[in-house]
Amino acid sequence: MYKDYPVTVQYASRNLWSGFLFGLGLIAFFDEAVFHQLLHWHHFYDKSTTSIGLVSDGFFHAFSWFATIGGLFLVADLRRRNAWYIKRWWGGVLTGAGLFQLYDGTIQHKLWRLHQIRYHVDILPYDLVWNITACLILLAGLIMVVRTRPKVKEEK
Amino acid sequence: MDHRLYWIPQLLLLLPFAVAGFAYLFGIIHTTRRQRPWPVFRTCFWFAGSVFAIISVAGPIAILAHDSFFFHMLGHLLLGMLAPLLMVLGAPVTLLLRALSVANAKRVSRFLRSRPFSLLSDPSFAGILNIGGLWVLYTTGLYQAMHHSIFLHVFIHLHVFIAGYVFTAAMVYIDPTPHRAGYRYRASILLLALAGHAILAKYLYAHPPAQVHVADAEAGSMLMYYGGDLIDAFLIFLVCLQWYKAARPSVLHTSHHASRGVKKQPTSS
């Protein structure tokens, strides 16, 4: 469709998807490394976990692992085509990261009770910081995505 | 199973890998004699995989696995995931085709193109064989029954390896694969399989198989979850790498605007 446009425009959506996938994988990896392994705040399994929460966790875990690796291969592909539009890619990263953070903090933690952010503390401030941060990251990402969208002029 | 009888399943499970190892060596000798040397890295992959398979079915890990879920799971990771991955990279079918005479190689490749074989290389079938088998093993009484029957023990361990091999070979194409599935399809099935593996690991954390102690089940299921991730990362990497090579652009862009008006120049001589 954008055949006569610069390659960064031709590959605008691949830039966005590559960033989105990598961002989603990155935040999931951060969650696993920092909150599970380093701080030991999150629990591997919480007795109040619902079955659907367990299924959701399994799928997101698998998806984020795949997305991290696949997202970076997409970057490599964009680079060899000289089509890596870094600003748009970062917009994708923040959107993916913010969206997963928000999904994790609301649906997975609260609705399906997968596990809480931390145990034996007043959880409200933790939930607020978690979800507000998620919204800010998501908002920043969306703004960058909108501002870097390809401007297609009508063919003369 | 009486612990004095532990050597029987160990020997029965060790034999096929030992025989396969000798066959592989025999194949290398044959193909080298015909002036077609076999790559050293393929040989290394095959024997590294064989060693991991053998230490998971015979020796200390196999003996400890009779009483410990954690060591059972360690053996399962090596036998069902790591050994198959390495052995697929050893390209045994390619070696076989090279070592055989032309007439026999044609017979083998006709078999590879046959309908039953196409089922084996279908990602969905391989995924169900692999992950479905695990769910049946750990969520029914099968895991417990395995400890009392030599036949079941040998059958289940062979199944774990074969299912792991078939699954890996259905994901990454190292050997000739006449029935090829697209990248999206393979990636989707791999994703489902990874999720099925992760869900089962957390399920086992909360619902240990009969006669497995809670602490043992927790350690074993966490090993399954994180150990599985580690090996799967290599499998995902290989699937992505094959996509990356296949999706190579035919015309390389040299600048941001180079795609504009670039036409393939006819090569003049």
The reported pTM is 0.88
Which of B236, B254, B258 has its CB closest to that of A69? B236
* Per-residue model confidence (pLDDT) at position B262: 42
Which of A45, A47, A65 has its CB closest to that of B194? A65
* Per-residue model confidence (pLDDT) at position A4: 66
Q: To which residue do tokens 């009888």 refer?
A: B5
Q: Report, as an integer, the average pLDDT of A52-72.
A: 90
Q: In the structure encoding, which two tokens stand for residue A103, read together?
A: 């999904």
* Per-residue model confidence (pLDDT) at position B263: 43
- Percent above pLDDT 70 for chain A: 94
Quick one: how far is CA A44 from the chain centroid?
21
Domain ranges in chain B are: 3-245
Which residues of chain B neighbour A8 with C-beta distances below 8 Å?
A: 256
Q: How far is CA B57 from CA A127, A134, B76, in A?
A: 47, 47, 9
Say yes or no to pLDDT of A108 above 50: yes
Residue B155 to residue B246: CA distance in whole angstroms: 38
Confidence of residue B170 (pLDDT cuts 50, 70, 90): very high
Quick one: how far is CA B65 from the chain centroid?
21
pLDDT tens profile B4-61: 778 888 999 999 999 999 999 999 998 988 878 899 999 999 999 999 999 999 989 9
Lowest mean pLDDT among B3-7, B162-166, B250-254, B265-269: B265-269
Asked whether the beta carbons of residue A65 and residue B252 sit closer than 8 angstroms, the reply is: no
pLDDT tens profile B201-251: 999 998 888 888 989 999 999 999 999 999 999 999 999 999 999 998 876
Closest of A43, A33, A108, A50 to residue B218, by C-alpha: A43
* Per-residue model confidence (pLDDT) at position B47: 97
Q: CA of B1 to nearest chain A CA: how many angstroms apart?
A: 33
Q: In the structure encoding, which two tokens stand for residue B242, read together?
A: 């094959």
- ipTM at complex level: 0.85
- Residues 6+ away with beta carbon under 8 Å from A118: A41, A126
Say yes or no to pLDDT of A74 above 70: yes
Which of A44, A63, A66 has its CB closest to that of B222? A44
| Residues B198 and B222: beta-carbon distance below 8 Å | no
* Per-residue model confidence (pLDDT) at position B34: 82
Confidence of residue B1 (pLDDT cuts 50, 70, 90): low
DSSP secondary structure letter of residue B121: T
Confidence of residue B267 (pLDDT cuts 50, 70, 90): very low
Whether residue A125 lies within 8 A of chain B, CB to CB, comes out as: no
Residue B243 to residue B247: CA distance in whole angstroms: 6
Q: Report, as an integer, the average pLDDT of A102-120.
A: 82
* Per-residue model confidence (pLDDT) at position B83: 97
pLDDT tens profile B75-121: 999 999 999 999 999 999 999 999 888 899 999 999 889 888 888 88
Confidence of residue A45 (pLDDT cuts 50, 70, 90): confident
Say yes or no to pLDDT of B265 above 60: no
DSSP, residue by residue, A22-89: HHHHHHHHHIIIIIIIIS--S-S--TT--HHHHHHHHHHHHHHHHHHHHHHHHHHHHHHTT---HHHH
Say yes or no to pLDDT of A65 above 70: yes
| Residues B165 and B87: beta-carbon distance below 8 Å | yes
* Per-residue model confidence (pLDDT) at position A156: 45
Q: CA of B180 to nearest chain A CA: how many angstroms apart?
A: 20
Asked whether the beta carbons of residue A82 and residue B254 sit closer than 8 angstroms, the reply is: yes
